[in-house]
Structures are given as C-alpha cells and as structure tokens.
Structure 1
Amino acid sequence: MTDSTAPTGYTVEYVDGPLKGQIDTRLYVDGAYDKTFGVIALVDGLESNFEYTAVGERELNGQTHVSYSFDAASSDSPVSDDNAQDLGEALV
C-alpha cells in the first residue's frame, strides 16, 4: 500500500549544457529520482538526444529539487554554449 500524501514527482534544474537555466518536473520511479536521463530537443531543426546526470539534491518548500549536469560524451552531437542559447522548447 502506498502513502497517498507522498510526493509523486520532483523538480529538475538543468545547471549547464543545452538546457541550462531551464526547469522541468519528472515523476519518481520506484520512489526515487532518475540518476540519469535523456531529453530530446531540436537543434538546427534536427532532433537530438541530450543526456543529463544528477549532481545534487535539495529540498525547497517541501519539494525535492535535483540538479542535473550535461553529459556531452553520452549525447548525440556536440553542442557549444552558443548553440545552447538558441534551442527551442525541449520535447520530453
């Protein structure tokens, strides 16, 4: 039986890479946040997969916030910080 008052999701904070400065919400999987995950976003009109890895966690107003860092080696194509500013809305 699960506790109906337990939070079901957490806030994602992108600390660098193509999604730097954006936030998102994700659902817990088996009661825990994702250690890594991929995000599909458009770059120059092409879909690219960007991998992110959890680097920190904090509680803010009773909500878990997890900071994620860009993993360029595991992502599709290299993206410079200049290109990161030009990305449109991420498709999750």
Structure 2
Amino acid sequence: MSAETSGEYVAEFIDGPLEGEFERRVLVSGEPEERVARVAAIDGLESLFWYDAVERREVDGEVRVRFRFDAGDSDPVEFDQDDNE
C-alpha cells in the first residue's frame, strides 16, 4: 500500500534521546512533516524534543522520513551518547 492510499509515513529518529525509535505518522496535506515534536520521559522526567526531517525515501511503496534531533529547541536532557553508538 502506498503512502497516497494509506495516508501515513514512517518516521525514523536517527539521533538524540529517541535514537533508533520508529513511529507511524499521518501525512499532512499529503506530505510528511518537516518538523515534529515528541514528548518522552527520560529518567522519569517528561521532556519535549524537536526533530527536523533530513531525508525522505520510499521503501516498498512506503514513505520513510529520517529525523535529526534539534537540541537547541528541545528541553535540556542528559543522555549518554556513548550508550547509543
């Protein structure tokens, strides 16, 4: 099923506190978002994280968008970068 018929795309978070996570998101006016916000609990504290689209591709008829962490606009959080490599 293509993105045009499903109305969804897969967001891939490639770095930051959500590194390695995937989620299905709804297309907006037929397109993936350029910027997304996610609320997540890190060490029991809820924080708002902003991610920017950096790459879009189609895999088996499904749109996938890779998002990079925007630390400057996100809530401060300490996470061990070495744990994520």
Same fold (TM over 0.5): yes
* 1:70 alignment partner in structure 2: 69
Rounded Cα–Cα distance in structure 2 between residues aligned with 1:72 and 1:79: 11
Gaps of 5+ in 1: 86-92
SS at structure 2 position matched to 1:31:
coil
Rounded Cα–Cα distance in structure 1 between residues aligned with 2:41 and 2:77: 13
Within 5 Å, which residues of 2 pair with 1:1-92? 6-80=5-79, 82=80
SS at structure 2 position matched to 1:6:
helix
Q: TM-score, normalised by structure 1?
A: 0.79
Rounded Cα–Cα distance in structure 2 between residues aligned with 1:25 and 1:55: 17
SS at structure 1 position matched to 2:6:
coil
Rounded Cα–Cα distance in structure 2 between residues aligned with 1:26 and 1:79: 27
Cα deviation digits, residues 18-69 of structure 1 (max 9, x gap)? 1111111100011111100110000221110000000001110100000000
Aligned residues: 81
Q: TM-score, normalised by structure 2?
A: 0.85
Gaps of 5+ in 2: none
